[in-house]
Amino acid sequence: MKKNVLFGLLSVLLVFASCKSKESAYKQAYEKAKGQETAQVQVNSPVQVTPVETAPAADNSYDQAPVRQEQVSAVSVSGTLKPYSVVCGSFSLQANAQGLKEFLVGEGYNAGIVKNVEKNMFRVIIGSYDTKADAARARESFKVKYPSRADFQGSWILLNK
């Protein structure tokens, strides 16, 4: 009986000892990849770069910017209201428009509020411009400055009729 138990223990030990591998498969794959990486020969040949010369083209993309025409009157605008303005917010309550205007003035903009009497809407503008191209440039730089503000990404150009 002792011999059978001893023989059984010895055979179980032998089975477990024979199943154990010396290295894991992951380690073998890692070592193989590392060996291939160091064995690769990198050849650096000089590359001749030819400079590309471009003629400055007239940038008329700003002239193609969409414009919305509305009849507006100045509510609180510093200076004179020029033909083109960049609108970044529209509100039915003047108090809401005033809050956004104060934020923008704090950010350094010459912000103001104009009113569309027809639609009874207060428009918050970041500035007023003589040309459509100037307004389009201002709108694009404004949108770039606030990429995470979805409401500012919808800013548009207003042409006062």
Residue 79's pLDDT is what?
Answer: 81
Residue 40's pLDDT is what?
Answer: 55
Query: How far apart, in Å, are the Cα atoms of 72 and each of 81, 82, 90, 117?
Result: 10, 11, 12, 7
Residues of the chain with pLDDT under 70: 1-2, 4-23, 25, 37-50, 52-64
User: Tens digit of pLDDT for each residue in 133-147?
Assistant: 999 999 999 999 999
Q: Do residues 44 and 133 make contact, with C-beta atoms less than 8 angstroms apart? A: no
Name 128's bridge partners: 85
CATH of 69-160, picked from 3.40.50.450, 3.30.70.1070, 1.10.420.10, 3.40.50.2300, is 3.30.70.1070
Q: Do residues 106 and 95 make contact, with C-beta atoms less than 8 angstroms apart? A: no
Residue 80's pLDDT is what?
Answer: 85
Residue 69's pLDDT is what?
Answer: 92
H or E segment and range at residue 64: none
Q: How many Cα atoms occupy the beta-carbon half-sphere of 53 within 13 Å? A: 0
Q: How many Cα atoms occupy the beta-carbon half-sphere of 24 within 13 Å? A: 3
Residue 66's pLDDT is what?
Answer: 82
Residue 65's pLDDT is what?
Answer: 75
